[in-house]
Amino acid sequence: MRNLKILIQNYKWKLFITSIVVLLSLIFSFSLLAQNKNPQLKQKAWNAYWIAVPGEPAQGYGVYQFRKNLNITKVTSNFIIHISADNRYKLFINGKLVSLGPARGDLFHWNYETIDIAPYLKEGNNILAATVWNEGEFKPEAQISYRTGLIIQGNSTAEEVINTNKTWKGIRDVRYSPLIPDLIYTYYVAGPGEKVDQKKSVGNWMQNIYNDSKWLDSEELFHGLPKGVFEWTLGWMLFPSEIPQMQLTTQRFKSVRKTDGIKTPQAFPAQQSDFSIPANTSATILLDQSYLTNAYPTLLFSKGNNAQISLAYAEALYVKEADTSNWKSHHQKGNRNDIEGKRFVGREDIIVSDGTLNQMFTPLTWRTYRYVQLKVETKEEPLTIVDISSTSTGYPFQFNAKFISSEPLITDILNTGWRTARLCATETYMDCPYYEQLQYIGDTRIQALISLYNSGDDRLMRNAITLLDQSRMAEGVTLSRFPTANAQQIPPFSLWWIGMLHDYWKYRPDAEFIKEKLAGERQVLNFFSRYQQEDGSLFNVPYWNFTDWAEDKGWDRGVAPIGKNGNSAALDLQLLLAYQTAAELESNLGMLAYASQYLFEAKKLEQTIRRKYWDESKLLFADRPEKDLFSQHVNALAILTGMVKHTEALQLAGRILKDKTLTQGTIYFKYYIHLALIKAGLGNDYLNWMSTWKENLSFGLTTWAEISDINNARSDCHAWGSHPNIEFFRTILGIDSDGPGFSIVKIEPHLGSLQNAGGEIPHPKGKISAHYVLRNGKVNAVIELPDRTPGYLVWKGKHYDLKEGQKTNLYLN
């Protein structure tokens, strides 16, 4: 027993070192190092080769380890390298993880990361090690691939000593095989789990003293080729990543919710507490993070020869199936805090112990979960669980906004919305982290505005706009999502992409970036023009014309009702809004001829929509020419496009709210419905529209569900529902842009019943703050604008000029 304690103490010391090396030392130099990049690396073929392990399949599933000994006589202040791989890599220098990637793109824009590895080098011998994996046919839908490969290029001649070529050695890590998740009743395309047989381990291959004599000299495939450079080779067009590397933060599970076959220490898992599982025992432990997270779980264990360990991941537990013929019965979750009488379904990793001390498992890619089910089946030897913890990951957004009010619900919704937005943002925005990890335009437009209002970091938004522009087909329409290995088209999402261009132009001082994208805007509208009838109405637009996940008569898999003649008010109004938006962009940035053309098309469409869909008896716009179906969607779009104005818009907004016979918008499309209600003059009621978000919270969700039907929601994390994180600032505090690039600030608060409210948001020149207190029937408003930024406040139709670079104190009746 004493010997075991000594072993565990030694193990704990190694755990401490491992934690420092593998986790806490992951404070990378996230800088893009633009000032130190060698410009010639964009202009000619790299001297470094793409390398692979000889004799291994090019496209199939496989995990590969590469290493190189590098002797350094003197460590310099900088040692800059450029690295990429297919599918993905982890780079280690002397056992320390220093880079993960590459950021997802396509073969024509294959990202490489630029990093300074000088802080990780030492005088003498250094071990450069890289894990590269290709998930083959099981790879995530968002993962585009050419073949397995790794490339590292030194930034200068001196740094080229690190270049990938035959001096690198490689081996296939046969421990790994794919595990396909048992999620057959839903759309899941986020990649496999991992089965890792530790008995087939290649050993401590990152150590200096490791014997790699049985490893193979790497196969040189071909030189790295920057985008735009011609050589007689195929493959990836290398492109410098324009986003920082992902944030990594250590965290611990909050509690054990349930056990079977084992009793865990009281301090576990909130604190490191080792315990033993006897031989020939089956034990199950249900761990609760207490909130949804994207993280790399790390399991430390010892001994237990041939024991099988399973780590399974779930957003929530599922109620027992009631009707196996109904797919929805497989999705029912109930309150996410409840576990009794429920079943565990989720992605899984399996590890087979080799019986040695100091074994560690961390999956190659991060997992999404609130709950983790740890199952252990021991054989002839007990197994010691030394610890389990995790490292959360995501795009390194910082919350740079503030909101203070007398209403605690706002804080709950704001915090939950921010968590949702963070989990749906890594190397791209994502619709959801658990099931798809795909950057859909409909989701991304909302997510990007959240980034601007809550963080001020626009790099992921720029990246998204560019990627989606690059996805356009020859027909002119963008793909619905990108990057994606399989093309999917949602033409209305291309129209919302034009909205994204306008959002960026409105809030960021970078008109040239949007000006470059106007050719894409024109091609999108040209695509739609081919399906316009003489009166401007769309007819038989191909592909999946998704509007919202509404479920009502006439709605089919998210497609709004279409008339017998092939016309749809929802499609016509979305096109109208895009024409209006594009006309404004062209007037300010592009060609007046295009602006005139789009305004002409918009005017024609307005007349057609009024004639074709307005029902005078109901005082509503119908979903189709038959005037038998009506929705919040169509009537909200009518307000947003200016089809109705002033008193007529206000009256229509009232009917949108009160008429429950209308097809109701889900949590996603409520973004546009709320914008319409605010435009019509009902902004003071904004907090009264939070019932969906209150219901999410009452069901124990820590992020916003994909659809309004919370019990049957597939995904528990969709950031398209986080739009209150925009409107708390834009609507309640009233902070908005009234000039390109946020050059003019407009403040028009909608305080509703709030007695006091205040906060601030980031601005390209600093920050904007607004605070309001109701006193003696008057509102005391204190507004502070950045330097050299004019603005004004609107209150009950009256305008008040605001001071630049200082506070303005107003008393409003």
Stretch 477-492: mean pLDDT, rounded? 98
Tell me the mean pLDDT in the region 318-337: 76
Q: Over 60: is that where the pLDDT of 6 sits? A: no
User: If you write DSSP's letter for every residue of 403-419 in order, what string do you get?
Assistant: EEES-HHHHHHHHHHHH
Arithmetic mean of pLDDT, 312-319: 96
What pLDDT sits at residue 493? Answer: 98
pLDDT at 12 (0 to 100): 42
Mean pLDDT of 164-176: 98
Contact 632, 668 (CB under 8 A): no
What pLDDT sits at residue 35? 54
pLDDT the model gives residue 19: 40
pLDDT in tens, 335-350: 999 999 999 999 999 9
Instruction: Note the pLDDT of residue 328.
Output: 58
Q: Which residue has the tokens 């390298």?
A: 81
pLDDT at residue 325, rounded to an integer: 57
pLDDT tens, 223-244? 999 999 998 888 999 999 999 9
Q: What's the pLDDT band for 320 if we cut at 50, 70, 90?
A: confident
d(CA 287, CA 371): 6
Mean pLDDT of 331-335: 90
Q: What is the structure's pLDDT at 185?
A: 79
Q: What is the mean pLDDT of the chain?
A: 94
* Cis status of the peptide bond prior to 47, with omega within 30 of 0: no
Is residue 11 over pLDDT 70?
no
Residue 15 has pLDDT above 80, yes or no: no
Decide: helix, strand or coil at residue 463: helix
- pLDDT for the residue numbered 363: 98
- What integer is the mean pLDDT of 655-668? 98
Rg (CA), the chain: 28
CA-closest candidate to residue 525, choices 589, 593, 578: 578
- pLDDT higher than 80, residue 588: yes
Whole-number Å distance between alpha carbons of 679 and 695? 26
Model pLDDT, residue 574: 98
Single out the residue of 430, 439, 184, 193 nearest to residue 331, CA to CA.
184
Express each pLDDT in 51-80 by its tens digit. Answer: 999 999 999 999 999 999 999 999 999 999
Q: Is the pLDDT of residue 295 over 60?
A: yes
203 vs 219: CA distance, rounded Å: 22
Beta-bridge partner residues of 758: 404, 771
- The answer to whether the beta carbons of residues 186 and 330 sit under 8 Å apart is yes
pLDDT band at 24 (very low <50, low <70, confident <90, very high): very low
Assign 324 a pLDDT band (cuts: 50, 70, 90).
low
Q: Do residues 698 and 691 make contact, with C-beta atoms less than 8 angstroms apart?
A: no
Residues present in the chain in total: 813
CA distances for 123 relative to 71, 74, 127, 190, angstroms: 7, 6, 12, 42
What does the pLDDT read at residue 184?
Answer: 72
CB 625 within 8 A of CB 567: yes
pLDDT at 10 over 60: no
Query: Mean pLDDT over residues 30-52, rounded?
Result: 80
Going by pLDDT thresholds of 50, 70 and 90, the confidence category of residue 183 is: confident
Residue 323: band (very low, low, confident or very high) from pLDDT cuts 50, 70, 90: low
What pLDDT is stored for residue 397 in this prediction?
98
- Tell me which amino acid residue 719 is: A
394-441 pLDDT per residue, tens: 999 999 999 999 899 999 999 999 999 999 999 999 999 999 999 999
pLDDT at position 189 over 50: yes
